[in-house]
């Protein structure tokens, strides 16, 4: 594993949840991963997958994971970005950003740096 870690770990939150919460969260994670390149992936799509309204999903995420649906999606995307950078799957940061559903590589770089404390181009060099 790369020495740079995320500020919070979704896995730690999952470990402390009852099975029915874990199962719902894992289903949502799988949905996000299956649709990760979709630029339209957002709270509405996640709420529909969860069988909740957007507001219910927001409250559920806050209660069980102390996060918002948008941050949940972002965290899944950033974890995937980190893994893809570690294995060198993409030759440029722009390719990686587009593969993860970001329309603007500069915004992807900003989010990555906020998550890991280093820009993706510098992460690749480590």
- Which two three-digit tokens encode residue 64? 């069980």
- Residue 21: burial class (beta carbons within 10 Å; 0-12, 13-18, 19+): middle
Query: Residue 105's pLDDT band (boundaries 50, 70, 90)?
Result: very high
Query: What per-residue confidence (pLDDT) applies to 5?
Result: 43
Q: How confident is the model at residue 125 (pLDDT cuts 50, 70, 90)?
A: low
**pLDDT score of 126:** 59
User: Which residues have C-beta within 8 Å of that of residue 117, sequence separation ≥ 6?
Assistant: 4
Mean pLDDT of 2-20: 64
Residue 117 clears pLDDT 50, i.e. is over it: yes
- The average confidence (pLDDT) of the chain is 89
First to last CA, the chain: 12
Which CATH number applies to 10-125? 1.10.10.60
Task: Please compute the mean of the pLDDT values over residues 70-92 and round it to a whole number.
Answer: 94
Domain spans of the chain, in order of start: 10-125
Q: Give the phi and the psi of residue 101 in degrees, each rounded to 5.
A: 85, 15
């Amino acid at each position: 594993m790369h020495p740079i870690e995320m500020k919070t770990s979704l896995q730690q939150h999952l470990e402390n949840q009852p099975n029915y919460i874990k199962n719902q969260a894992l289903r949502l994670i799988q949905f996000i991963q299956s649709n990760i390149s979709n630029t339209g992936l957002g709270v509405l799509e996640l709420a529909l997958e969860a069988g909740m309204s957007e507001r219910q999903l927001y409250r559920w995420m806050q209660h069980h994971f102390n996060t918002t649906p948008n941050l949940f999606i972002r965290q899944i995307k950033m974890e995937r970005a980190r893994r893809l950078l570690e294995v060198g799957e993409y030759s440029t940061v722009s390719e990686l950003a587009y593969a993860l559903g970001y329309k603007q590589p500069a915004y992807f770089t900003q989010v990555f740096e906020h998550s890991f404390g280093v820009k993706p181009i510098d992460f690749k060099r480590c």
